[in-house]
């Protein structure tokens, strides 16, 4: 079935697979194309724009993703996770005479928010969308990292600097989309490598320089084999330990080196029936990019361990399953339209929910169940109200749609939406963003 997007007006297809999935989760097909749906989600994710401000509870100076002129109360890590306040104090009764998004915006504006999304980390105050990090600085979307700086969308690295999509590596600098590498510099799309420099698409290699598309090789320069003595002598001549030598090598790697060797059209490793590039250990991915250990997903970007899901962005690194229209979530199951929710199940339209289940339209809840708009209900009351709310949202055209840009806590230019879908200020305002 073909439709014209209600936002960009471009024609897009709703496939049979889309229809079957949406029918299974009781959601109508969207009137927006996949790109516009992604843009709407991304307008809620501020990764790298950090501010100094004051915690609204303890009054200490903190680092936050919310500028001081934002209308939301913001709590530091210690205050947010403490028992010194109760998010249920801000609860509201659902009003069936009003659209849900209006009510949710009222709840957003008064419920305290986590200053920076950084859970169970140690000495890593400047890290955002991070979990379980230790001694890290300015890493974004990174989990289980140690002694690392300036990383993004990576996990389980140690002593690494300036990296992107790096996994389980140590002592690496400027490495991208690589895994299990050690003491290496400027590696791209490589795995299980040690002491390799300025190279691409290596696997199981050691002591390689300016090489590409090699497997289980050692002492190679420009894909030519050398003895150990020859290799070390050439390294000395290049003087990579000096600023001038390193800069010259980097310039060559980013320019003439790229013309010397062929590059794969797309990068997929151990994948089956997948569309898109930079996938590892994936199966049945439609319209996806930058995924690892994902299966049976569509319209998915930058996700790990995500299964049976559609329209999801920045998911992982703990397993998530049966998710629709979610962003910045990890370890969730059977959730619809959730933003920055970790380790939950059966949530709908929640933001900053942690270790909770069976809740709808909640903000900043922790270890809760059977809640609606931060109001506690019994199991029976919740199960009676939820279908009524869904029917109400179907009538207002909200059910299945992600939150509108107009209620995002961030300006469009503060979010990753502006990285992937750049807009001028006037264009953003015309779309309803801030």
Per-residue pLDDT of the chain (434 residues; tens, 9 = 90+): 889 999 999 999 999 999 999 999 999 999 999 999 999 999 999 999 999 999 999 999 999 999 999 999 999 999 999 999 999 999 999 999 999 999 999 999 999 999 999 888 899 999 999 989 999 999 999 999 999 999 999 999 999 999 999 999 999 999 999 999 999 999 999 999 999 999 999 999 999 999 999 999 999 999 999 999 999 999 999 999 999 999 999 999 999 999 999 988 999 999 999 999 999 999 999 999 999 999 999 999 999 999 999 999 999 889 999 999 999 999 999 999 999 999 999 999 999 999 999 999 999 999 999 999 999 999 999 999 999 999 999 999 999 999 999 999 999 999 999 999 999 999 999 999 99
Write out the two tokens for 77: 């890590």
Beta strands in 170-271 (DSSP E): 170-173, 176-179, 182-188, 197-200, 206-209, 218-221, 224-225, 268-269
Q: What b/e string do you get for 191-211 counting C-beta neighbours within 10 Å, with b at 16 or more?
A: bbbbbbbbbbbbbebbbbbbb
**In whole angstroms, what is the distance from residue 185 CA to residue 249 CA?**
11
pTM: 0.92
∠ CA 75-358-326 to the nearest 5 degrees? 65
CA gap 59, 71 in Å, rounded: 16
Phi-psi region of 48 (alpha: psi -120 to 50; beta: other; left: phi over 0): alpha
* Cβ within 8 Å of residue 127, ≥6 positions away: 116, 118, 121, 133, 136, 137, 138, 139, 140, 142
- Can you say how many angstroms the Cα of residue 102 is from the centroid of all Cα atoms in its chain? 26
What span, in angstroms and rounded, lies between the C-alpha atoms of 329 and 348? 13
Q: Are 228 and 219 in contact (CB under 8 A)?
A: yes
The DSSP call for residue 89 is G
């Amino acid at each position: 079935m073909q439709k014209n997007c209600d936002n960009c007006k471009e024609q897009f297809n709703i496939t049979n697979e889309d229809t079957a999935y949406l029918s299974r989760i009781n959601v109508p097909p969207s009137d927006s194309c996949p790109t516009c749906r992604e843009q709407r989600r991304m307008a809620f994710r501020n990764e790298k724009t950090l501010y100094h401000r004051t915690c609204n509870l303890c009054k200490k100076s903190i680092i936050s993703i919310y500028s001081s002129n934002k209308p939301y109360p913001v709590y530091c890590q210690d205050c947010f996770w403490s028992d010194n306040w109760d998010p249920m104090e801000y609860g509201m009764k659902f009003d069936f005479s009003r659209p849900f998004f209006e009510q949710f915006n009222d709840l957003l504006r008064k419920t305290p928010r986590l200053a920076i999304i950084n859970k169970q980390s140690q000495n890593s105050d400047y890290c955002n969308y991070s979990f379980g990090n230790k001694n890290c600085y300015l890493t974004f979307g990174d989990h289980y990292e140690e002694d690392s700086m300036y990383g993004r969308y990576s996990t389980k690295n140690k002593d690494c600097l300036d990296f992107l999509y790096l996994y389980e590596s140590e002592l690496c600098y400027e490495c991208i989309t690589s895994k299990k590498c050690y003491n290496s510099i400027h590696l791209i799309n490589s795995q299980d490598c040690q002491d390799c420099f300025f190279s691409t698409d290596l696997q199981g290699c050691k002591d390689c320089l300016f090489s590409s598309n090699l497997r289980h090789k050692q002492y190679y320069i420009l894909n030519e084999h050398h003895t150990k003595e020859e290799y070390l002598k050439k390294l000395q001549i290049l003087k990579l330990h000096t600023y001038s030598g390193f800069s010259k090598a980097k310039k060559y790697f980013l320019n003439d080196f790229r013309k010397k060797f062929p590059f794969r059209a797309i990068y997929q490793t151990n994948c089956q029936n997948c569309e898109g590039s930079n996938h590892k250990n994936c199966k049945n991915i439609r319209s996806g990019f930058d995924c690892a250990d994902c299966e049976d997903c569509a319209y998915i970007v930058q996700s790990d361990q995500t299964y049976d899901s559609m329209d999801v962005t920045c998911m992982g690194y703990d397993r998530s399953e049966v998710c629709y229209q979610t962003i910045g979530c990890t370890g969730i199951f059977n959730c619809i339209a959730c933003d920055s929710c970790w380790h939950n199940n059966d949530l709908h339209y929640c933001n900053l929910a942690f270790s909770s289940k069976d809740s709808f339209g909640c903000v900043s809840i922790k270890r809760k169940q059977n809640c609606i708009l931060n109001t506690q209900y019994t199991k029976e009351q919740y199960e009676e109200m939820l279908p009524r709310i869904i029917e109400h949202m179907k009538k207002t055209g909200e059910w299945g749609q992600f939150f509108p840009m107009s209620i995002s806590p961030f300006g469009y230019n503060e979010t990753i939406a502006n990285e992937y879908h750049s807009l001028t200020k006037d264009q953003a305002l015309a779309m309803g963003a801030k």
